[in-house]
Copies of this chain bind each other. A is one copy, B any other.
């Protein structure tokens, strides 16, 4: 390094810059994380893409490799990235096996994890009632899609579910028929809407006539009801769904840590 370049060096360190951002201190590695997440949201880094190496990112962003590493590790822990020693860091893909493990918790009691097959029953445009609008943070009476599906495990009908999506973000959803098994792959691949996390509420309810018919169980039989809100990379709600599941020979698996 020449003397001239030393003279020209910025007088602020990365750390100082972090502080200068304002009275609300935010660690550099979180700022890095937000910038990287932003590229994914903008679609510059689509699922499956190989990221630049840690060294390159560090040089590009003007921070040390260790800081980039901390941001990447955190994103990998949240399943937004996949790191592979010797190969590189990739944007996570909504691959069937992973999505299944992450977002589909219904298992046969024997412990296997078979892939569910889904059949779309109906897809229609509608308007959000007050409750749905609140759950998806839409305006009341906003346009939505309502998708009804029947899902089978090992060929046996086990789940009836209704999926609600904001029309604005999934404008030409009806052109995608037949809808694939893995909706989250569709959201990410065709609509740029990656699902990052979800919140679920579980209840036990009695089967109504429609569910009983679809699932081949007696009316009044106990069903597991799962209400889900799924959130995007920007942490805003993307999808709302209600699933009614037969749980006679199946269960919802959960780990508490």
Contact = CB atoms under 8 A, between A and B. Distances in A.
Interface of A: 78-79, 102-103, 105, 109, 196-206, 220-225, 227, 245, 247-248, 250-257
A81 to B, nearest CB: 13
Closest 7 CB pairs of A and B: A204-B204, A222-B222, A204-B222, A201-B251, A202-B252, A203-B247, A198-B256
Given A222-B223, A223-B222, A257 B202 contact: no
A105 B253 CA distance: 14
A205 B197 CA distance: 28
Contacts of A256: 102-103, 105, 197-200
Contact of A202 (B102, B103, B196, B224): B224
A199 B257 contact: no
8 contacts: A200-B253, A200-B256, A202-B202, A202-B224, A202-B247, A203-B224, A205-B222, A206-B222
Q: Which of A222, A250, A256, A257 has the most CB of B within 10 A?
A: A256
A143 to B, nearest CB: 27
Copies of this subunit = 2
Contact of A197 (B197, B198, B253, B257): B257
Contacts of A252: 201-203
A250 to B, nearest CB: 8
Contacts of A79: 257
A66 to B, nearest CB: 10
Given A199-B254, A199-B255, A200-B254, 20 more contacts: A78-B257, A105-B256, A196-B257, A197-B255, A197-B257, A199-B253, A199-B256, A201-B252, A202-B202, A202-B252, A204-B205, A204-B223, A204-B224, A204-B225, A204-B245, A204-B247, A205-B247, A206-B222, A220-B220, A224-B224
A164 B224 CA distance: 25
Contacts of A245: 204
A201 B253 CA distance: 5
A220 B206 CA distance: 9
Contacts of A250: 203
A253 to B, nearest CB: 6
